[in-house]
Chains A and B, each alone.
Chain A
Amino acid sequence: MLKTLLATTATLVLSGAASAEVLKIGLANPMTGDYAPYGEGNGAACMAEIINETAAAGDVTVEIMMEDSRSDPQLTLSLAQKYLDAGAVIVHGTPFPDSLIPMAAMAQGYGAIVYSPQITQVEMHEAGLTNFTAGVAPDDVGASAMASTVYAKGARNAVLMTSEDAGSWTAGTPVWFGEAFEALGGKVMAKLNHSIGTSDWSPQVTEIMAMSPVPDVVHICSIVPDVGILARQLVSAGYAGLVVGCDGFDDPSLEATAGSPEVLSHIMFATHVPVLPDSEAAKFVQTCKDRGYSVNGIFDALGGDMVRILVEAASDAGTTTDGMAIQTALRARASFDLMTGGSLSFTEKGTWPIRAVPIIGFEDGKRVLVSYDTPSFLPHTK
């Protein structure tokens, strides 16, 4: 009896000691629905597995709790509540403000934080959240980098396509592109409306092709397949300019949706990490595929980076159970080396990192890095 009691006590003590080193992350991941291409969950789970395999005694290990949010804000919040109740100190979900702003408010009551590896909406940095950090720069930074790139390539007239469907991501990003483009000397000819889920752009294509002069560049921030279809229909109508946009373009199905190398040669987009052949991000994606994960591309790579950064911050903070202490450590470190190459730092901006913006284009149907700079002109973010 005494032996059993001693053994049970020892097990409890040991398991207690072990659980203190486990960083619990809850991900209400969009595996289905409109935003399924933009989830980071499988990349995060893959990185957690790699970290846990190589962790030495006393190192921080990771437990990922993950379910499908179906791209639905309400379900995202329900799942986040479940993860917080289960002890998660870091939560994330469908990467849009209507999910993440209330999630941050909910997490605050638990002393937990929200870390989003991919959200770019400026609202997140203006909502006064004290427990939120994004792993990428806001949309106006990418828009400005894109404006510099297309202006340098000779574009002088632009059409902006905006939508109210996904907040500032679809409504503001083209406008900020336009501001940066005009600051360089370009001209915004017109703004046209669209909706997410558009599969026939013929009214807008007719409108654009009837303009005089026909614009050199059309900017849109939306999702695939919409943007691929837009490019295909524009080129099919004889459009010779560029169709440019944001990270919503960055999905492997863009190539097939655009349909041909000819159409792709008209496309450029701003993103966060260049997932090009032989890049560190591409190697990580391949490693995860070899391990049996259904990973996609950049967003899974960002998920991998997220887990690595958070583990390092938890190690710096000396805790895996105090979310705010982990966030303080996150913002205090001068630099985090990224698994996807390069580094980032939160010391200057706090809720988002300073990092260069890769602009991806296409040659012979293959992705190429067109530019990779940190823009100096920020149309919106101060």
Chain B
Amino acid sequence: MDYALQQFLNAASFGAEYALIALGLAIVFSLMGLVNFAHGEIIAIASYAAFFLILVGIDNPAVVALVAIAASVLGAILFERVAFRPVRHAPVATGLLTAFGVSIVVQNAFLLFVSPRPRPLPVFGGLNRTVELGGLKVQLLQLLEIGVTLAAISALLVFLRRSTLGLAMRAAARDFNTVRLMGLRANRVIATAFAISGLLAGIAAVFIVARRGSIEPDMGFMPVLKAFVACVIGGFGSLGGAVLGGFVLGFVEVGILLVLPQSMGGLKDAVVFSLIALLLVARPQGILGSRVELGDKER
């Protein structure tokens, strides 16, 4: 029983990390129709900000975490202002290529000006300690990951439902032109969406660095790839879908790892993606996505 509970917690922790990152991708996509593959570099910016802080002698984990999250918010806003705003009205493919361009530029900047090799960053190592919870030995990091993810999602829900800007973002996701006609500034709405995605990426970065204990220029690539898959599973553009997709992916990955016979270990990713493909055959729009026909105005 303990074993099953522990593995359940492991899967939930995987899912929470994917959900945090997927939510950031989904918020931007819901407004701009942009799959921001540079989201991984926002994670890297947060991590390298923490690294630089340690270099200058500031090693209080709470301070480092706050600065890292602030750096990722600023980084996301900067990406929007410098790279994505000029191509906002361009075809979707242009935005996608811009995202890849930003990703490559930022990765190479870290590579050239810091190091292509992993750099140690043990500042959040204290989160890896084990705590007892009802007789179960649990990593503090896992509990924090699940708890903070749920808190962040709840806070985001409140923001989207109760604040004017949040309501504007929801409305803009359905019909941006109408929102602008009502006097809301598009730049402000979109910049806020990027800031929120940066905030979520920054929180995820703290957890990723805590677990890895090191940073490297392409450290954001795999998490964002997983988050992209989570968004596809949940339904691209659906915020709830992104969260659900993240957790589904986490549980599928851990489940496959445990169930697949050792001799078939090399097929792990193939099995995971086959399951996802089957799901998409049944629901091409993802679990919570709405079906869009050619000519439909709303997503």
A residues near B, CB below 8 A?
Answer: 31-33, 36-37, 68, 162-164, 171, 190-195, 197, 199-200, 202-204, 206-207, 210, 224-225, 228-229, 232-233, 236-238, 251, 253, 255-260, 294, 296
- A296: chain B residues at CB < 8 Å are 117
Does A259 lie within 8 Å of B128, measured CB to CB? yes
Shortest Cβ gap from B40 to chain A (Å): 13
- A259: chain B residues at CB < 8 Å are 122, 125, 128, 213
Q: Say which residue of A31, A210, A229, A236 sits within 8 Å of B212 (CB atoms).
A: A229
- B119: chain A residues at CB < 8 Å are 253
A164-B130 contact in complex given A253-B120, A257-B212, C-beta closer than 8 Å: no
Q: Say which residue of A33, A195, A206, A238 sits within 8 Å of B269 (CB atoms).
A: A195
Which residues from 178 to 208 on chain B have a C-beta closer than 8 Å to any C-beta of chain A? 208
25 residue pairs bridging A and B, Cβ less than 8 Å apart:
A31-B116, A36-B116, A37-B117, A162-B265, A191-B262, A193-B257, A200-B10, A200-B13, A202-B139, A202-B142, A203-B10, A210-B2, A224-B118, A224-B214, A228-B213, A229-B211, A229-B212, A233-B139, A251-B118, A253-B214, A256-B122, A256-B213, A257-B214, A259-B122, A296-B117
A237-B117 contact in complex given A203-B10, A259-B213, C-beta closer than 8 Å: no
- B120: chain A residues at CB < 8 Å are 253, 255-257
Q: Is B281 an interface residue (CB 8 A)?
A: no
The complex places the Cα of A259 from the Cα of B120 at a distance, in Å, of 9
- B257: chain A residues at CB < 8 Å are 193, 203-204
Does B6 lie within 8 Å of A206, measured CB to CB? yes
B interface majority secondary structure: helix
- B217: chain A residues at CB < 8 Å are 32
Does A193 lie within 8 Å of B118, measured CB to CB? no
Shortest Cβ gap from B17 to chain A (Å): 8
Q: Say which residue of A195, A225, A260 sits within 8 Å of B118 (CB atoms).
A: A225
Shortest Cβ gap from B53 to chain A (Å): 16
Q: Is B111 an interface residue (CB 8 A)?
A: yes
- A255: chain B residues at CB < 8 Å are 120
Does A253 lie within 8 Å of B118, measured CB to CB? yes
- A191: chain B residues at CB < 8 Å are 262
Shortest Cβ gap from A161 to chain B (Å): 10
* Smallest Cβ-Cβ distance to B217: which chain A residue: A32
* Smallest Cβ-Cβ distance to B117: which chain A residue: A36
Does B117 lie within 8 Å of A200, measured CB to CB? no
Shortest Cβ gap from A100 to chain B (Å): 21
A-B contacts, CB under 8 A, total: 110
A interface majority secondary structure: mixed
- A32: chain B residues at CB < 8 Å are 111, 116, 217-218
The complex places the Cα of A321 from the Cα of B129 at a distance, in Å, of 58
The complex places the Cα of A31 from the Cα of B217 at a distance, in Å, of 12
* Smallest Cβ-Cβ distance to A204: which chain B residue: B257
The complex places the Cα of A251 from the Cα of B115 at a distance, in Å, of 14
Q: Is B137 an interface residue (CB 8 A)?
A: yes
- A236: chain B residues at CB < 8 Å are 128-130, 139
- A260: chain B residues at CB < 8 Å are 125
- B137: chain A residues at CB < 8 Å are 237-238
Does B118 lie within 8 Å of A206, measured CB to CB? no
- A36: chain B residues at CB < 8 Å are 116-118
Shortest Cβ gap from A173 to chain B (Å): 15
Given A206-B3, A256-B122, A259-B125, 9 more A-B residue pairs with CB atoms under 8 Å apart are: A37-B117, A163-B266, A200-B17, A202-B142, A225-B213, A236-B139, A256-B214, A257-B120, A257-B122
Report B96-133 CB contacts with A as 1/0, cut-off 8 Å: 00000000000000010001111111100100111000
- B218: chain A residues at CB < 8 Å are 32-33
Q: Say which residue of A203, A228, A251 sits within 8 Å of B258 (CB atoms).
A: A203
Shortest Cβ gap from A232 to chain B (Å): 6
The complex places the Cα of A68 from the Cα of B119 at a distance, in Å, of 19
* Smallest Cβ-Cβ distance to B257: which chain A residue: A203
- B115: chain A residues at CB < 8 Å are 294
- A195: chain B residues at CB < 8 Å are 268-269
Does A193 lie within 8 Å of B6, measured CB to CB? no
- A232: chain B residues at CB < 8 Å are 125, 128, 213
Q: Say which residue of B122, B260, B265 sits within 8 Å of A164 (CB atoms).
A: B265
Closest 9 CB pairs of A and B: A256-B120, A193-B265, A164-B266, A32-B116, A202-B10, A257-B213, A225-B214, A206-B6, A259-B125
Chain A CB count within 10 A is highest, among B17, B130, B213, for B213
Which residues from 1 to 26 on chain B have a C-beta closer than 8 Å to any C-beta of chain A? 2-3, 6-7, 10-11, 13-14, 17
Shortest Cβ gap from A125 to chain B (Å): 23
The complex places the Cα of A238 from the Cα of B136 at a distance, in Å, of 12
Does B128 lie within 8 Å of A199, measured CB to CB? no
Q: Is B222 an interface residue (CB 8 A)?
A: yes
A229-B262 contact in complex given A37-B118, A202-B142, C-beta closer than 8 Å: no
Does B260 lie within 8 Å of A200, measured CB to CB? no
- A33: chain B residues at CB < 8 Å are 218
- A258: chain B residues at CB < 8 Å are 213
Report B122-156 CB contacts with A as 1/0, cut-off 8 Å: 10010011100000010100100000000000000
Shortest Cβ gap from A227 to chain B (Å): 12
- B3: chain A residues at CB < 8 Å are 206, 210
